[in-house]
Amino acid sequence: MSIKPLIILPDPVLRQVSKPVERVDGDLRRLADDMLETMYDAPGIGLAAIQIGEPLRMLVIDLAKEGETPAPHVFINPEILESSEQRSVYEEGCLSIPDYYAEVERPASVRVKYLDREGKLQEAQAEGLMATCLQHEIDHLNGVLFIDHISKLKRDMVVKKFKKLAKDKAPGKMVG
């Protein structure tokens, strides 16, 4: 297993639409393990494959708190079958947009189908933080970020800040 570097805003890789997984095999399970290790190291509660540069429709989630028994979940080719009319608001963050948080309103519960890490078709009903996290991760599979759900004014400010950070970090920009 290994910890992979995270792709950070404004890298255009984050805007790619990820491709369905065709085969759940050893290589894919290794990718899932790398994603979990990278997520735990960050630390975060979810990670989509594209955040480590793999444009595949796979995500991992673990909502267990520090000190609790880890509860890793792997979702392959997830699809939302049904979203509740009821909405809920959570303060979201994203490992690809470090240290920025904003409230996002989403359906409070979702029904999803997906393949598990054995390649078996599963269906699940999620609510609370799990529902929010699943929607945040499935957005990543479609090149969508949580800042796409906030006001344009706030989004433009965040993107501008991260563009500047990327520029300041770029090689050959050390003078000044």
Q: Is 109 in the site for ligand GNR (CB under 6 A)?
A: no
Considering the complex, what minimum distance in angstroms separates the CB of residue 171 from ligand GNR?
A: 26
Instruction: Determine how many CB atoms are found less than 10 A away from the CB of residue 103.
Output: 11
Considering the complex, what minimum distance in angstroms separates the CB of residue 85 from ligand GNR?
A: 21
**Two tokens, residue 32:** 């899932």
Residues in Cβ contact with 7 at an 8 Å cutoff, skipping those fewer than 6 apart: 13, 14, 50, 51, 52, 53, 96
Taking CB atoms within 8 Å and a gap of at least 24, the contacts of 163-167 are 163/10, 166/8, 166/10, 166/11
Residue nearest Ni ion by beta-carbon distance? 94
Which residues, 50 to 69, sit near ligand GNR by CB under 6 A?
Answer: 51
CA atoms within 13 Å, Cβ hemisphere of 47: 28
Reply yes or no on whether 92 is catalytic: no
Considering the complex, what minimum distance in angstroms separates the CB of residue 38 from ligand GNR?
A: 11
Return the one option of Ni ion, ligand GNR, none that residue 47 interacts with (CB less than 5 to 8 A, by type): ligand GNR
Q: CB under 6 A: which stretch of 17-25, 28-36, 134-142, 167-175 binds ligand GNR?
A: 134-142
Return the one option of Ni ion, ligand GNR, none that residue 57 interacts with (CB less than 5 to 8 A, by type): none
String of b and e for 155-174 (b: at least 16 CB within 10 Å)? Answer: beebeeebeeeeeeeeeeee
Which residues, 22 to 41, sit near Ni ion by CB under 5 A?
Answer: none
Considering the complex, what minimum distance in angstroms separates the CB of residue 170 from ligand GNR?
A: 23
